[in-house]
Amino acid sequence: MIKLKYARVLFLLLATVVLSHCGLKTDLVVYDDSAPLPKIAKLSHHILGDRLLLDLDVEGGSSEIMYQIDRSEIDPACQCFAQWLRYYESSPSKQRLGLKRNIKLRTDMAYAYRLRVVDNLGRKSAWSKVITSLATSK
């Protein structure tokens, strides 16, 4: 009877030790947030016929950045913006200077565009100023 009691206690102690050490133990992953937040350093645009040409330079951010472009229709009656929708999202890249995007415009519709930059840690810049566009005849 005593041996059975000790066997149960020993089994519980052994089970506690074994189960408490199960699983993979690694060091905590710590991201380097010493890099400044990403921001748009320079944004220029030109309308050339039915094309909107965007040139973008980025400062800050972690190792890779991407940029997002949202677009909204401009209501001709009130000259107000409709809902903003994601128009384009670039692939992550280490390139910071001379980012270019060529957008085809419609001649019958005016659109507004805005851009922001996101780094690979998910940190986002503020939205750029709104760029309005309407295709012109060549």
Question: For residue 128, is pLDDT > 80?
Answer: yes
- pLDDT at 116 (0 to 100): 94
- pLDDT at 117 (0 to 100): 93
CA torsion 109-57-128-49 (nearest 10°) is -20
pLDDT tens for 27-60 read 666 666 677 888 899 999 998 888 889 999 898 8
> Which residues, 6+ apart, have CB-to-CB distance to 118 below 8 Å?
38, 65, 66, 67, 68, 124, 125
DSSP state letter for 126:
P
Question: For residue 113, is pLDDT > 70?
Answer: yes
Domain boundaries, the chain: 39-133
Question: Which superfamily does CATH assign the domain made up of 39-133 to?
Answer: Immunoglobulins (2.60.40.10)
Please state, for a pLDDT cut of 70, what percent of the chain lies above it: 83
